[in-house]
Chain A
Amino acid sequence: MARTYNWQIQREMSYWYPESRPQRQFAAVFDINKCIACQTCTLACKTTWTSGKGQEYMLWNNVESKPYGFYPLAWDLKLLKLLGPQEWHGEVYAGRTLFEAAPAGTRVLGWRPDDQDYAYPNVGEDDCAGVIEKGASFDIPHLAWFFYLARICNHCTYPACLASCPRGSIYKRKEDGIVLVDQSRCRGYRECVQACPYKKTFFNPLTGTSEKCIACFPKFEQGLQPQCFANCIGKIRLAGWISKPEQASPDNPIDYLVHIRKVALPLFPQFGLEPNVYYVPPIHAARPFLHQMFGPQVEQAIETYRRAPDDPDLAGLLGLFGCTERVVPRWLREKDWVVGAAEDGTELVRVPLKEPVYIRAAFDTQYQVARVNCP
């Protein structure tokens, strides 16, 4: 085990290999508040990458309702229980990461789902965290709540899948930090399936190798956002690059949301993998639940997000989500417009800070029909 630094838990930790960050790191921000669980992302990935024989059960992208939805079954609960208490001292994680809690003879604390655990991807869908009593009123956070959690591989800085493979069949690309299973080298040992806490590596029983989300690298290499981003109906996703905190640049959209405004947080940072998909937490769900899921900065992230209507920069950047298939490595606000730009400053997309609203007369006199006005 080597000593490495993990900024998400603000301390050094043990990892199987020495720290080796890529030249650039693929990253994404998902705004949970905007997800409608239409599963278009799930199908976009499915039809693009996993329509083959042996891939039937695989959802490299899935959307599950929290707290009672899981894919695979109880993926998070099982691991949280195995890991035991996860204490934070302020913003420093004081508990053990999955690497530090590895049982004797293994490199990572993990568990392997049973075949059946993948069989019910919609279990718990739209199930509320509690019952609505008579006299209940709407408040934030809600008394009874659920939210949709869209998940892909996190292309972790310290991937557990990669650490666990005894053959070194998993690698993290130097040029973009995307984590891939070498399909010519994998022998299907499933150590990665056991080790990935997010359960985002999958065993293909007909080819006998493990497969995982590839961040749509053939698209990403061409400056295009992955399929599950480009097809997202709720426009909840933005793909780009993340810097180390001390190198954060305010004109990089991911840096701005994660490092500067701290409005997007990693999923289960205490596991120690430094995952690179960041979530704007749902404003209406119970805080202790969110604290466990996104770490100690969750309150502050929600407060910042709730003030977005009075915060043209933040609101503007959030409005850039889903407005172009192109990867937008730079952004700026010009008064009432937000511009997404290429690395060299070339404008790629321009969106208004506030979408104009047109209200039409309820009755169309020309065609003599009543109109339905949609917001």
Chain B
Amino acid sequence: MRDIRHLLLLSLSIALLASSACRKPAPPPPTEVVLFSAADVPLDPSHTAWQGALEFTAALIPQDLVEPRQLTPSTTAVRVRALTNGVDAAFRLEWTDPTANDLPGAARFSDACAVQLPSKIEATVPAPQMGEAGGAVEIVYWNAAWQAVVAGRSDSIKELYPNAAIDHYPFEAPSLQQSPASQQAMTTRYAPARAVGNPVAGPRTTAVQDLIAEGPGTITSAPATASRGQGVRTAAGWAVVIVRPLPKGLAANAPAQVAFAVWEGAHEEVGARKMRTDWIPLALRGNP
């Protein structure tokens, strides 16, 4: 009797094993952002090449470590795909955002996102929040208002406030039109941030900026912006591709980290008021 029971149990477990082997199990969610190899890295977020990369969903947490802190959460997650052609690393960020905020103004904030990597790929990883002294991070920042300018919005107050009435700009005086150089000099004088070459000040040719930081409050423009970026509105929010040089030292056997941040303009997020991820493992992989 005991032997029969044993036999029954054995056959039942074999049957269960067999049935589970027939059903295809759902793949476990990825635990790392993987840079898949591709012949080319497309800047267009809707390019089909992106379907060849597995999507990683990164949970976002409020930046509540340094003032000004973000005390109420907004965007909950950002979905990331990554591709590399061996020269560049491209990240496609997609997140849900029902309101498109791409107009600047005293109280209008732009939707934005950023990709952060340590400046050096090594065993010691800098602090995930903007790095730390001696542990620099490289950040590529994309901004919806910049994207709108790159897409053709002109550098005019009428684009922001259609009913604005302007009677005169001194640098547009007819007397100056004979002398483009002095006209340009005067125009620049009335745009102080441009006059001193602040890269955020425009005139704008790219929707992204390369930055370096060594801790909160230290973010500085990189000497030049080598990265490229393009963002588009989707039915539910934004899809943004950021293409930056492949970090030196990144190899299949060298563990690396990446972090992301998203700013929701409608929630008045800017600077330190943002949703961010912790470091996420970043891996180099062949085709999926």
Contact = CB atoms under 8 A, between A and B. Distances in A.
Interface of A: 47, 50-57, 104-107, 112-115, 117-118, 164, 166-168, 183-191, 193, 202-209, 211
B69 to A, nearest CB: 3
A104 B106 contact: no
Contact of B187 (A52, A164, A190): A52
A211 B155 contact: no
Given A53-B169, A166-B217, A207 B108 contact: no
Contacts of B168: 51
A208 B200 contact: yes
B198 A166 contact: no
A204 B64 contact: no
Nearest to B157: A56
A209 B106 contact: no
A117 B202 CA distance: 26
A53 B268 CA distance: 24
Contacts of A107: 67-68
B170 interface: yes
A8 B160 CA distance: 41
Interface residues of B, number: 46
B185 interface: no
Contacts of B13: none
A39 to B, nearest CB: 15
Contacts of A189: 270-272
Contact of A168 (B145, B190, B217, B270): B217
Contacts of B194: 207
Given A52-B187, A106-B68, A209-B193, A47 B217 contact: no
Interface of B: 64, 66-71, 104-108, 145, 155-157, 160-161, 164, 166, 168-171, 187, 189-198, 200-202, 216-219, 268, 270-272
Contacts of B193: 183-184, 186, 204, 207-209
Given A47-B170, A113-B107, A56 B219 contact: no
A50 B156 CA distance: 15
Contacts of B198: 183-186, 207, 209
B115 to A, nearest CB: 17
Contact of A115 (B107, B189, B219, B272): B107
Given A112-B107, A166-B67, 8 more contacts: A53-B169, A56-B157, A113-B106, A167-B219, A183-B196, A202-B106, A206-B156, A207-B200
17 contacts: A51-B171, A52-B187, A53-B169, A53-B190, A56-B157, A56-B164, A107-B67, A112-B268, A167-B218, A167-B271, A183-B193, A191-B68, A203-B104, A203-B106, A205-B105, A206-B160, A209-B200
Contacts of A184: 193, 196-198
Contacts of A113: 106-107
A167 B217 contact: yes
Contacts of B106: 57, 112-115, 117-118, 190, 193, 202-203, 205
B71 A115 contact: no
Contacts of A47: 170
Contact of B191 (A54, A115, A186): A54
B215 to A, nearest CB: 11
Contact of B192 (A188, A205, A207): A207
A112 B66 CA distance: 20
Nearest to A163: B67
Contacts of B270: 188-190
Residue from A164, A167, A205 having most chain B Cβ neighbours under 10 A: A205
B217 A205 contact: no
Contact of A114 (B104, B107, B155): B107
Nearest to B196: A184
Contacts of A57: 106
Given A113-B106, A114-B106, A166 B170 contact: no
Contacts of B196: 183-184
Contacts of B272: 166, 189
Contacts of A209: 192-193, 198, 200-201
Contacts of B166: 56
Closest 6 CB pairs of A and B: A52-B190, A105-B69, A189-B271, A205-B104, A207-B201, A209-B193
A188 B160 CA distance: 16
Contacts of A112: 106-107, 268
Contact of A53 (B157, B161, B195, B218): B157
A206 B155 contact: yes
B41 to A, nearest CB: 28
B191 A53 contact: yes
Residue from B68, B69, B71, B168 having most chain A Cβ neighbours under 10 A: B68
A238 B202 CA distance: 38
Contacts of B219: 167, 187
Nearest to A52: B190
B71 A105 contact: yes
Contacts of A106: 67-69
B204 to A, nearest CB: 9
Contact of B202 (A55, A185, A191, A208): A208
B202 A207 contact: yes
A113 B70 CA distance: 19
A188 B265 CA distance: 13
A122 B193 CA distance: 29
Contacts of A104: 69, 71
A52 B191 contact: yes
Residue from A51, A188, A202 having most chain B Cβ neighbours under 10 A: A188
